[in-house]
Amino acid sequence: MSVKTLEIDGKMVTGVAGTTLFGVAWDNGIHIPRLCHIGGLSDVGACRLCLVEIEGQKRLQPSCLTAVEEGMVVRTDTPKLKAQRRLIVELLFAERNHVCSVCVMNGDCELQELASELGIDHVRVRYQNPSLAVDITHERFGLDHNRCILCTRCIRVCDEVEGAHTWDMFGRGTKSHIISDLGQPWGESDSCTSCGKCVQVCPTGALFNKGVPVAGMRKDRKFLKYIVTAREKKQWIE
Amino acid sequence: MHDILHRMTQGQASEDDLAMLEELAGLLRETSLCGLGQTAPNPVMSTLRYFRSEYEAHIRERRCPAGHCKIEAEVYA
């Protein structure tokens, strides 16, 4: 197992070969923002929030998909990156109807936390105010497309951990949205095992437990690490 | 971006919209995952570079130098 030495934000750090820049940065206390990454699932680099500057490379690279290399010089927090992240999050807010005051996840939402971290107190682009459906056909859970940011965590956890692959992405561009099975209502899905993993990994209130009041939902994401560790190391440890 | 451009052709855009258009085009070019996203803002960026005066005419004078957008009638009516 070889170890690579690199520089992130002026700090000398080491990472095992094959690990990502994102993981090494977080291990060393450099918290790169993210919405689509979640420890234990594969990475897709879809949210574009973990983009970093790497010296000698013209383009920005998603740190969750970039492996550490010897002698890399990485910057994660330049004013330009901050401005871009801010605009990306503003676009997320403008794209759908994210109304925190009536959301079950108010106070524990990753999108909300990120927005306040980036100092977003207003959105400079026009709200699209799309008219989107809410699927409450499932017995225990609900899906609100208005709050979905298309991070695809639910799709990945259902496929990779539960093995059901109930969720998938449908449509393109502004019309993209997640569907269960072949577009049937969630409650009529044959493949769904009602395990609720998708609900727990969802960063916003798009997937929620039914019957929870506003700001009453708290998600438990520890289970994922528990299951993945058990699978990889054959040890049932936290 | 389409929304901003559409408002420009209607004579309803402001200077802020022009700045936001440039920022959005830059963001799209630099942060996109695929080649389509990276090159999609090119028409906007190149027209901003070579025909900036036309954008400015739409905003400041509410007129279309090329005579393509029908905004005069609405504004002066």
Check pLDDT > 80 for residue B71.
no
| Nearest CA among A160, A155, A166, A159 for reference residue A191 | A166
pLDDT digit string, tens, across residues A33-76: 999 999 899 999 999 999 999 999 989 999 999 999 999 999 99
User: Taking residues B33-50, what's their average pLDDT?
Assistant: 92
The residue of chain B with its CA nearest to that of A86 is: B27
Task: Please judge whether A48 and B33 are an interchain contact, meaning their C-beta atoms are less than 8 angstroms apart.
Answer: yes
User: Residue A113 pLDDT > 90, yes or no?
Assistant: yes
- List the structure tokens of A105: 């996840």
pLDDT digits (tens, 9 = 90+) for A68-101: 999 999 999 999 999 999 999 999 999 999 999 9
For residue B22, the model assigns a pLDDT of 92
If we measure between CA atoms, which residue out of A24, A12, A9, A36 comes closest to residue A67?
A: A24
Q: What is the pLDDT of residues B26-41, one digit of tens each?
A: 999 999 988 898 999 9
Q: What is the average pLDDT across A107-112?
A: 94
Residues 27-46 of A with CB under 8 A from B: 45-46
* pLDDT for B73: 52
Residue A237 pLDDT class (50, 70, 90 cuts): confident
| CATH label of the domain that carries residue B69 | 1.20.1440.230
DSSP for A41-104, please give it.
S-----S--SEEEETT-SS-EETTS-B--TT-EEES--HHHHHHHHHHHHHHHHHTT--GGG-T
Q: What's the complex ipTM?
A: 0.82
Task: Name the residue among A48, A124, A126 with its Cβ closest to that of B31.
Answer: A48
Q: What pLDDT score was predicted for residue B77? A: 41
Contact (Cβ atoms closer than 8 angstroms) between residue A159 and residue A165: yes
Q: How far apart are CA A1 and CA A12, in angstroms?
A: 19
- Across the interface, which of B3, B16, B30 has its CB nearest the CB of A84? B30
The answer on pLDDT for B74 being more than 70 is no
Quick one: pLDDT band at residue A19, thresholds 50, 70, 90?
very high
**Domain count for chain B:** 1
Range(s) of the domain holding residue B70: 2-76
- To the nearest whole Å, the CA of B7 is away from the closest chain A CA by 11
Q: What is the pTM of this model?
A: 0.89
pLDDT in tens, A133-191: 999 999 999 999 999 999 999 999 999 999 999 999 999 988 999 999 999 999 999 99
Residue A7 one-letter amino acid: E
Residue numbers in B near A125 (CB within 8 A): 20, 24
Closest by CA position to A43, among listed A62, A25, A61, A24: A62
Residue B33 makes CB contacts below 8 A (sequence gap 6+) with A45, A46, A48, A62
Average the pLDDT over B48-66 and give the result: 89
- Give the domains, in start order, of chain A with CATH numbers: 3-77 (3.10.20.740), 100-233 (3.30.70.20)
Q: Tell me the pLDDT band of B2, cut-offs 50, 70 and 90.
A: confident
